[in-house]
Structure 1
Amino acid sequence: MPRSPLLLLPGLLNTRRVFDPQVEALADVADFTIPELWHHDTMAAMAEAVLASAPPTFALCGFSMGGYVAFEIFRRAPERVERIALIDTQAGPDSAETAARRRGFIEQTRIGRFHGIHPTLLPQLVHPSRVGDESITRPLLDMASEIGGDGFVRQQQAILGRADSRPLLVEIDRPAVVIVGRHDLVTPLPRAQQMAADIANARLVVVEDSGHMTPLEKPAEVSAALRRWLTQ
């Protein structure tokens, strides 16, 4: 079977390592491009940078913040997107409370208080049963350190300035899958259900016993869902 060009878009404070399990599991069906998404401070600039280095057409998969970039890519170049996968993300804007929290993170970072992902934040990111699992939490901490404070600020600014992508959902007429952890506290299940309902023929995959970081928490389930989506 020929391999599909597949763009994997990481989330906030994530490098390509967030997709390591999927790269290993899907190497027989996909050729991967995994861009760095911490060099630009708008979704437009991120999307244009990704498109500039992407194959002519591709399957598109965005995790968390990467989902926001995926929407911007589809908005700009729908003819290049063969199919789309959205993992633990959302189409709507931040609530006022979430936006204020992001601005607070930016201000704290600018005065030199960036410490990556503080361990107290882990219960927000992973299922309670995995807060002590270093095979999952160590990559999260290491990726955040690699991206650093400046990259974090740029990413948060891009997220704050993103468009509301809910009106875009009805325009997505490609094979689509929406994957979400049952216990995702960052982009909760109801938002995934709404996205899947608004995208024509989208398949919803709910990953049990997982928080927000499903590619790392439940790699086999995420890889299986992506394989079905790629080969259907």
Structure 2
Amino acid sequence: MPETTTVVMDDGVRLNVKVLGQDPTVRKPLLISLHGAPGVSTLAEPESSFGYLSDRYRVLVFDARGSGASDKIGPFTHERWIQDIENLRKWAGDETFILAGASYGGFVALDYAVQHGARLRALVLRDTWANGRLGSMNALASILTSKRISVDVDRQVRLWSGTVLNDQDHALALQEILPIFTPPTDVQTAAASTEQQESTEFQGSVAFYSATQNAAFAENMPRFDVRHLLKEINAPTLVVVGRHDAITPVSCSQEIADAIPNAQLEIFEFSGHSPPSDEPEKFEQILSDFLQTVVH
């Protein structure tokens, strides 16, 4: 297994990075995958989802600044996270690459695609949305009306508005909604043959950084709206979503796929917020077929 390495950004911040599929004898295409859940998720999520591609691609995964083992030094903005992607692309030595973004990582990936579309050989979006204010409000409404979970209403409002009190408040808010990230029990039973795995969203050693979460949802989300810019994304795009995703529902992915000129939408009928873990075999096949078609 490859070890993680530290890559220093232009402002001195150190990012925790891992590259799967390095081969000095073969120059493989580069794929950079962004994790979701700022301040809690890590490179373990994209490594689990995309690691199987390492025989054909160099798969670069990393803890975004403010998450995991990377420095907790801001700013925690899309602009800064996009510059970090550019720094990693240059560090890897590639002019063009495949970009994948899951959940919140999809927001950053969309912003990157709008600003640096010429760099992209392909774009992969998993369970995401194109408008921050509406998306976060709808996610909160879905949580507060769900019959599957019982939550502290004030705490959930703090989570989705970026006003969590501290790291413990952040942890409690996420822990009480974990069941909603997976498909309902009857759907899981019906899909037993798909060999569902543990959700990738919060894999690995979990640590909570409320400052990253608060910046993401108090500052970034109100300003994030790329709906009118999606038509400018020319990269071949795969949009993936779980039918039972309560956080970023099918309608959000449909909106994105309808607006991007060269987009393919795949709905996973037995999945919640994480098709790579809910229906791993189907996810791997669809992703492999897409990349084989668009990356030469």
Q: What range is the shorter-chain TM-score in?
A: 0.7 to 0.9
Alignment partner for residue 69 of structure 1, among 85, 105, 108?
108
5+ long unaligned stretches in structure 1: none
Measure how far apart 1:147 and its partner are. 4.3
Q: What secondary structure, in the 3-state scheme, does the structure 2 residue paired with 1:211 have?
A: coil
Residues 147 and 53 from structure 1, CA distance in 2 versus in 1: closer, same or farther, beyond 3 angstroms? farther
Residues 138 and 210 from structure 1, CA distance in 2 versus in 1: closer, same or farther, beyond 3 angstroms? closer
Give the aligned partner of residue 221 of structure 2: 160
The answer to whether residue 28 in structure 2 is matched with residue 3 in structure 1 is yes
Superposition TM-score, scaled by structure 1 size: 0.85
Residues 69 and 190 from structure 1, CA distance in 2 versus in 1: closer, same or farther, beyond 3 angstroms? same
Give the aligned partner of residue 108 of structure 1: 164
2: CA distance, partners of 1:84 / 1:134 = 25
Q: What secondary structure, in the 3-state scheme, does the structure 2 residue paired with 1:60 have?
A: strand
5+ long unaligned stretches in structure 2: 1-25, 67-74, 141-155, 189-194
Residues 180 and 137 from structure 1, CA distance in 2 versus in 1: closer, same or farther, beyond 3 angstroms? closer
1:11–1:65 CA contact under 8 A, matched in 2: yes
Give the aligned partner of residue 179 of structure 2: 123
1: CA distance, partners of 2:201 / 2:125 = 21
Alignment partner for residue 43 of structure 1, among 78, 81, 86?
78
Measure how far apart 1:141 and its partner are. 6.6
Q: What secondary structure, in the 3-state scheme, does the structure 2 residue paired with 1:26 have?
A: helix
Give the aligned partner of residue 246 of structure 2: 185
1: CA distance, partners of 2:173 / 2:61 = 22
Measure how far apart 1:128 and its partner are. 2.1
The answer to whether residue 43 in structure 2 is matched with residue 16 in structure 1 is yes
1:61–1:86 CA contact under 8 A, matched in 2: yes
1: CA distance, partners of 2:200 / 2:258 = 35
Superposition TM-score, scaled by structure 2 size: 0.68
Give the CA RMSD over aligned residues: 2.9
Q: What secondary structure, in the 3-state scheme, does the structure 1 residue paired with 2:76 have?
A: coil
* Alignment: residue pair count: 229
Measure how far apart 1:32 and its partner are. 1.2
Give the aligned partner of residue 170 of structure 1: 231
Q: Which amino acid aligns with 1:88?
A: D
Q: Which amino acid aligns with 1:140?
A: F
| Alpha-carbon displacement from aligned partner over 1:75-127 (angstroms, at most 9, x marks no partner) | 22111111111110111232287299676123333385232564430232111
Measure how far apart 1:152 and its partner are. 2.7
Residues 80 and 116 from structure 1, CA distance in 2 versus in 1: closer, same or farther, beyond 3 angstroms? farther
Residues 162 and 32 from structure 1, CA distance in 2 versus in 1: closer, same or farther, beyond 3 angstroms? farther
1: CA distance, partners of 2:27 / 2:284 = 18
Give the aligned partner of residue 88 of structure 2: 53
**Aligned residues with identical type, % of pairs:** 24
Moved more, 218-227 or 45-54: 218-227
Give the aligned partner of residue 87 of structure 1: 126
| Alpha-carbon displacement from aligned partner over 1:31-75 (angstroms, at most 9, x marks no partner) | 111232243421111111111111321011111111110112122
The answer to whether residue 136 in structure 2 is matched with residue 136 in structure 1 is no
Give the aligned partner of residue 194 of structure 1: 255
Measure how far apart 1:163 and its partner are. 2.4
The structure, 1 or 2, with the larger RCO (C-alpha pairs under 8 Å, 6+ apart) is 1
Residues 116 and 149 from structure 1, CA distance in 2 versus in 1: closer, same or farther, beyond 3 angstroms? farther
| Structure whose residues are more often helix by fraction | 1
Q: What secondary structure, in the 3-state scheme, does the structure 2 residue paired with 1:187 have?
A: coil
Measure how far apart 1:3 and its partner are. 2.8
Q: Which amino acid aligns with 1:75?
A: V
Q: What secondary structure, in the 3-state scheme, does the structure 1 residue paired with 2:229 have?
A: helix
Structure with greater Cα Rg: 2
